[in-house]
Amino acid sequence: MKNDNEEFAEMTKFAETTVGLARTTKQILCDAERGPMDNPPMLVWHTEDDVHLLGLPTPDNTFPAYEVLASALSGAFTEFGVPRFVSVIVEAYATQVRNENEADDIQRGDLQKKFQKCDPNVVEVISVVTFDMGGKMVTDMLYYGYDDAGQPVFDEVIHDDDPTSGGLIIDVIESFRSFVRAE
């Protein structure tokens, strides 16, 4: 039986591998499309024996991200059983905020509009959230731009072993963990 430190180390290694998958997928898609192209959101489901990759629908105003994730977790649990680790991969726009209130004021689509108007404070990012069923979570942020040929150019990964973020996505993850523990 593995101790918590060994299990956390394995989850962190899985997260690193998932970030590599997201990076490679982005490169292949942009190469095939001969220019900038967004990956669909993805769920990577790691059981004791297998790893499953599931493409997810792109969230929109009628099917927001937290509902997409809740539906995907439920479906994957039904199909594959209890996961050892799960990674959620999404592409998004990001900006620096001074406080939580400023972040709360950002509405869906605001950053996309600013990005399209070439706002230098808005950047693109691949975000990977990896979690286990015991309460551990890590996040990885992979910021990127495009070169003149439309191919992604990535910054270094920003890894966080103890993310403090909240919100509806984290609420869905916590609800899913509670459900799995109750089963």
Domain range summary for the chain, segments of one domain joined by +? 4-182
Q: Is 3 a residue whose pLDDT tops 80? A: no
90 token code pair? 């999404």
Residue 138 burial (CB count, 10 A): 22
Share above pLDDT 90 across residues of the chain, in percent, rounded to a whole number: 50
Q: What is the mean pLDDT of residues 173-182?
A: 88
pLDDT digits (tens, 9 = 90+) for 91-126: 887 766 666 666 666 666 666 676 667 767 777 889
Contact of 15 with 9, CB cutoff 8 Å:
no
Per-residue burial over 52-79, b = 16 or more CB atoms within 10 Å of its CB, e = otherwise: eeeebeebeeeeebbebbbebbeebbee
pLDDT digits (tens, 9 = 90+) for 17-67: 999 999 999 999 999 999 998 888 999 999 999 999 999 988 887 888 889
34 token code pair? 């001969």
pTM of the model: 0.87
pLDDT recorded at residue 42: 94
Residue 142 φ/ψ, nearest 5 degrees: -120, 95
- Residue where the block lists tokens 């199909």: 79
